[in-house]
Amino acid sequence: MARNLSEAARKVLLLGQCVPTVKHNATKIRVKRLELDENLLMFFKKDEFYYCHDPEKQCKTGDIVLIQALPQKLTKLITHQIKEVVYPFGDITDPITGKKVAKEKYREDIERETEVYGKLDSTFDYNKAPPRGWQEGKKDFTAKPTYTKYHVFDENDPYAI
């Protein structure tokens, strides 16, 4: 019975968000869950963190990914692998309709409004926008190696967590 349960647990896919980590060839994934408090009979948010094997560095900080348990642990910490990047950070898609979203409106609705009311100079055009990663090294520091900050200095280091 326990063997069947562990085999079923390996096949389960988890949905989580990539967070910064200091591990090499691994990605830290935060999976949000709800935990029942038996005394209050209320659910409370609980975050679980998994280290996933990611040698190709296919996911960046902020991406929503699917992870799956490895058949054998690679190390004491690395127990899962990245199955696929579902939503890249900054490119939000409604999971039900499959349409692109900007804040609380669909991008199609925003385009229709600009056609009806006229285009302003300040209107952002999503079709002409470059893909994510074009500011890497300028304003996007998600590809830089991070490390844990143990001491507090006067200088603010953007790569420390």
Residues 6+ apart with CB under 8 A from 48: 30, 31, 33
Q: Distance (Å, rounded) from C-alpha 4 to C-alpha 109? A: 49
State the DSSP code for 160.
B
Highest mean pLDDT among 68-82, 114-128, 144-158: 68-82
Report yes or no: 71 and 62 within 8 Å, Cβ to Cβ: no
pLDDT digits (tens, 9 = 90+) for 7-26: 665 678 999 999 988 887 88
Structure tokens at 130: 């470059």
CATH 3.30.420.40 fits 2-87, yes or no: no
**What residues does each domain of the chain span?**
2-87
Look up the pTM and report it. Answer: 0.69
State the DSSP code for 143.
T
Nearest alpha carbon to residue 158 among 18, 147, 62: 147
pLDDT digits (tens, 9 = 90+) for 64-92: 999 999 989 888 999 999 999 988 887 77
Strands 26-37 and 78-87: unpaired
Report yes or no: 25 and 55 within 8 Å, Cβ to Cβ: yes
Average pLDDT over residues 51-66: 88
Nearest alpha carbon to residue 50 among 87, 16, 4, 95: 16
